[in-house]
């Protein structure tokens, strides 16, 4: 289980990484099908400059520090940037129907810029709307599934990797 402002990275094919309540937050799953390394980040806010001390204590809280930590840990386990599949979900407009503080949209914009800086592209995404999501990453095959709050149906966001 990957909690709010947390991240996990592993190469254990028996693990299913899961995070709940992705509203305006973003869930970022990465998977290297060649190395069998994957990770999941549940990030709340776009930029750590607003609270550097908190970012040092909990890098997953912010997209900039969380993505850097996620990538660093994956690379330490043998993942290669050029093999990484990036799948994102969340960025909903929760509790702000007027769009005054659309933090979900801001998170998405910042993440796209950060990924570009790292030379990474989004493989699949499910962004926006007004509903929380649960996101799962299967480390056996890189499959990513989503479930919307209040719904039984599961959406396959990223099918299993053909190279595993």
pLDDT tens-digit readout, 49-83? 999 999 999 999 999 999 999 999 999 999 999 99
Alpha carbons 68 and 158: distance in angstroms, whole number: 22
Range name among 5-9, 37-41, 90-94, 111-115 with the lowest pLDDT average: 90-94
75 or 157, higher pLDDT: 75
**Helix, strand or coil, per DSSP, at residue 108:** helix
CA 145, 149, 152, 154: dihedral to nearest 10 degrees?
A: -10
- What confidence tier does 101 reach under pLDDT thresholds 50, 70, 90? low
> What is the per-residue pLDDT for 93?
87
CA angle 158, 161, 164 (to 5 degrees): 155
Q: Does residue 158 register a pLDDT over 90?
A: no
Alpha carbons 47 and 49: distance in angstroms, whole number: 6
Give strand pairing partners of 79: none
Q: Does residue 107 register a pLDDT over 90?
A: yes
What number of helices (H) and strands (E) belong to the chain?
A: 3, 9
> What is the per-residue pLDDT for 152?
85
> What is the per-residue pLDDT for 164?
45
pTM of the model: 0.93
> What is the per-residue pLDDT for 4?
96
- What confidence tier does 96 reach under pLDDT thresholds 50, 70, 90? low
User: How is residue 112 written in tokens?
Assistant: 């796209």
Architecture of the domain defined by 7-158 = 2-Layer Sandwich (3.30)
Alpha carbons 16 and 103: distance in angstroms, whole number: 28
Contact 5, 40 (CB under 8 A): no
| Whole-number Cα distances in Å, 23 to 43, 46, 52, 133, 139 | 10, 14, 23, 7, 24
């Amino acid at each position: 289980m990957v909690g709010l402002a947390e991240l996990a990275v592993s190469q254990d094919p028996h693990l299913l990484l899961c995070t709940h309540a992705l509203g305006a937050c973003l869930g970022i799953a990465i998977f290297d099908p060649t190395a069998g390394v994957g990770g999941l980040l549940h990030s709340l806010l776009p930029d750590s400059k607003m609270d550097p001390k908190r970012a040092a204590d909990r890098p997953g809280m912010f997209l900039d520090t969380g993505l850097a930590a996620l990538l660093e840990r994956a690379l330490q386990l043998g993942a290669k940037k050029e093999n990484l599949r990036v799948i994102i979900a969340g960025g909903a407009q929760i509790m702000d129907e007027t769009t005054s503080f659309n933090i979900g949209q801001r998170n998405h914009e910042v993440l796209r810029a950060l990924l570009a800086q790292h030379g990474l592209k989004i493989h699949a995404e499910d962004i926006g709307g007004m509903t929380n999501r649960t996101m799962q990453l299967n480390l056996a095959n890189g499959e990513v599934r989503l479930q919307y709050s209040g719904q039984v149906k599961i959406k396959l966001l990223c099918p299993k990797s053909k190279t595993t």
